[in-house]
Structure 1
Amino acid sequence: MARRAIDPRAAVALAALIAAPLVLTDFWLVQILGRALILGLIALGLTLLAGFGGMVSLGQMTVAGVAAYTVAILTTTGTGPALNLPALPAVLLALVLGMLAAGVIGLLAVRTSGIYTIMITLAIAVVFFYFTRQNYPLLNGFDGYAEVVPPEPWGRPAPFYYLCLAAAAAGYLWIARLVAAPFGLALQGLRDEPRRLESLGFDVYRHRIAAYLVAGVLASAGGVLLVWFNTRIDPGTVSLGPVIDILVIAVIGGLSHPVGAFVGALAFVLIDNFAVEALPAARERFNLIIGTFFLLVVLFSPDGLLGIWRRLMRPPQDAGSTARED
């Protein structure tokens, strides 16, 4: 069987990202591209759950927080029960604990649907937020953990950017292949016709829990990178604002393709960094600005920025024939 040809657009985008440190400043590398890759990686799990599984979960940032706190507790030497372990075992344990947390969220959420899934995952996120604020013996309460720095050489801008790029690329390739594999096709079938798939012998709940575990691995990897990006972790990282931000990122990017998570993350980060320069009062009204942008994107394109891009790139002769072909 012939191998699938590499998409030229994907190859160009990857080449540009690899060459970015040669032309961009450290601010653009880390604060813009690096942060967008991290948030996109966390939102990628939500794209799998919501876009391909029909399960809108607000637990991705909670899972990322579990992984981030694990790395902070195991590697820092500041206040609290820090153990000063090497980075590799700490990261591996963070991925495992984050995946387990995602599995617990999945066990509680898979028997619900629609608004009930949103509400139960939101409730879990709120409970975890207040737990981090009130737990001082383990999580250091409101102060959290500071000086959580990545090991060398990842603490420098270019290596850290490449680390984020490698993690994002691995996550993207994994999900892109997974959704085209039998598991991904079954997950999409469960999204559209769960009773029919169940009558064919598919275990609805196991497939959905497996999807939560996959999304948990992505969120955990993003959480590890996020705590190194901020060099700290505190309850504000897992508060209601960041929880909703992941949903906004996934939706404005587009839920129909894994790349949408990163498109949405880049748009979010650009607005977050440069809206203040365009509007002096934007710092106090960021939620209003991103909310308005969210509404405009959804109003004009239910498939987010990806849908807008596809319409712009569609050849004129195809515009009139699409409806007849569908």
Structure 2
Amino acid sequence: MAVMSPRQWALTAVVLAIMLALPLVLPAFWLSGILGRSLVYGIVALSLTFLASYGGFISLAQTMIAGVAGYTVAILAPTAIPASSSALSYWLAMPAALVAATVAGGVIGLIAVRTRDIYLLMITLALAVGFSLFAQSNIDWFNGYEGIRNILGPDIFGYPFRTHLVFYYVSLTVAALLYLLVLYVVRTPFGLTLQGIRDNPRRVSALGFDVALHRVAAFALAGFIAGCGGVLITFYNIGITPSSIGMTATVNVLVMSVIGGLGHPIGAFIGAVIFSLMDTFAATVYDRNRFNTLIGLVFLVIVLVSPDGVLGFGKRLLFWRKPKAREEQTGTH
């Protein structure tokens, strides 16, 4: 089965071409402050969208898993402040962070494998809040409330990672690869089985598939995706603190996913762009101190008007216009 239709491949290629060309016309602020930020947070939202759309799991632990990867790379980073006695090069710290995130995802899958709906939501939320509080109270590993600073990232072809172009292109490359990975996985036997479990787990179990194992594997894969986002977010913020993985950050990722649309992986990035724009320009549109009110109102309107997010609204608008165009053509003839 093809990963995407020729039309979808063409549309994806056009979007990527536009994204690759944007540095030629946009200032550095837009590259890192808006687009780069949207890409790295969109990766974490992508992990949530993957679980929700193809597995039927709404997990609020994805920000926690991103934090596991972020803290791992920060603890092992050679430039970290405070310095660690177990420091490695960035090229060794990053794979270690991804392994830690994947394992964390699998562990959460084991914990939540027999729960669904609101119970899964509450268990993953409790895990996320618990990890944030643990990081805040732990001084030896996580440096408590202050967190770990000066996580600059590796040099890429001799250029510092914090260079706007380097950060943007690396984030774009990672986001595109993970997006294609999700589209590929959901069309493999594993992905099709996972979707069958989402729709009717008893029937899939009767066919001889291990439902629990598939669910744990889905959480592990989502953990790997969230870990990639967590590493990039740590580089973007030049460090990590407990507040960056706390309740607010957890809810923000959920809002991004829902606003963009949980029905397709691209919705995660659409929601991340909308959220980043609103967060950046809230002071000029509304009151900066009431950003949560503003994003809450937008979230409420989108959920009421289009429960499947901006992506779903765009699809309905497209399909509404097509029949109308055909009617007009039929009437003229």
State if a TM-score over 0.5 links the two structures. Answer: yes
1:290 aligns with 2:306: no
For structure 1, which runs of at least 5 residues remain unmatched after alignment? 322-326
Return the match for 2:323 from 304, 315, 318: 318
The answer to whether the 8 A contact 1:194-1:204 is kept is yes
Q: State the 1:108 CA deviation.
A: 0.5
CA distance in 2, matches of 1:158, 1:289: 31
- 2:168 aligns to what? 161
2: CA distance between counterparts of 1:44 and 1:318? 32
Cα distance in 1, alignment partners of residues 322 and 32 from structure 2: 41
Q: Which residue of 2 aligns with 1:232?
A: 239
| Aligned ranges 1:98-117 → 2 under 5 Å | 98-117=101-120
Q: Which residues in structure 2 correspond to 1:1-326 (within 5 Å)?
A: 4-5=5-6, 7=8, 8-75=10-77, 76-79=79-82, 81=84, 83-152=86-155, 153=159, 154-279=161-286, 281=287, 283-314=288-319, 316-318=321-323
Which AA in structure 1 matches 2:315? R
Q: Deviations over 1:125-168 (max 9, x none)?
A: 11101100000011100010111101222221001100000110
Separation in 1, partners of 2:318, 2:84: 54
Between the aligned partners of 1:278 and 1:315, the Cα distance in structure 2 is: 31
C-alpha deviation, 1:192, in angstroms: 1.0
User: Shift of residue 275 of structure 1?
Assistant: 1.5
The alignment partner of 1:285 has SS state of helix
Asked if structure 1 preserves the Cα contact closer than 8 Å seen for 2:80 and 2:149, the reply is: no
**In the aligned structure 1, how far is the partner of 2:319 from the partner of 2:57?**
30
CA distance in 2, matches of 1:23, 1:47: 31
Unaligned runs of 5+ in 2: 327-333
Contact 1:80 1:140 in 2 (8 A): no
**Conserved? CA contact 1:77–1:83, under 8 Å:** no
Question: Match of 2:329?
Answer: none
Q: What do residues 293-322 of structure 1 show as CA deviations (whole Å, max 9, x unaligned)?
A: 11111111111000111122225353799x
| Secondary structure of residue in 1 paired with 2:310 | helix
- Deviation string 1:72-91 (CA, Å, 9 cap, x unpaired) is 11113422535442111000
TM-score, normalised relative to structure 2: 0.92
Question: SS at the partner of 1:256?
Answer: coil
Q: CA RMSD in A?
A: 1.8
Q: Equivalent residue of 2:43, what SS?
A: helix
| Contact 2:91 2:154 (8 Å CA) reproduced | no
- 1:33-82 Cα distance to aligned partner (Å, 9 max, x none): 00100111111111111111111100100000011011111113422535
Q: 1:151 to 1:109 in 2, by over 3 A?
A: same
Paired residue secondary structure (2:59): coil
Distance 1:129 1:319, change over 3 A: farther
Give TM-score, length-normalised by structure 1.
0.94
Alpha-carbon distance in 1 for matches of 2:88, 2:30 = 31
Cα separation, 2, equivalents of 1:163 and 1:57: 27
Q: Are the counterparts in 2 of residues 80 and 137 from structure 1 also a CA contact under 8 Å?
A: no
AA of the residue aligned to 1:277: T
Cα distance, 1:212 vs. partner? 0.3
Structure 1 residues 202-230: Cα deviation after superposition (integer angstroms, max 9, x where no partner)? 11111111110110011000000000000
The separation in 1 between residues aligned to 2:324 and 2:55, in whole angstroms, is 29
Distance 1:138 1:80 in 2: 11
Residue type matched to 1:158 in 2? L
> Identity over aligned residues, as a percent?
47
Q: Measure, in 2, the Cα distance between the counterparts of 1:278 and 1:255.
A: 27
Change (3 A) 1:271 1:77: closer
Q: How many residues align?
A: 319
Per the alignment, in what secondary structure is the counterpart of residue 119 of structure 1?
helix
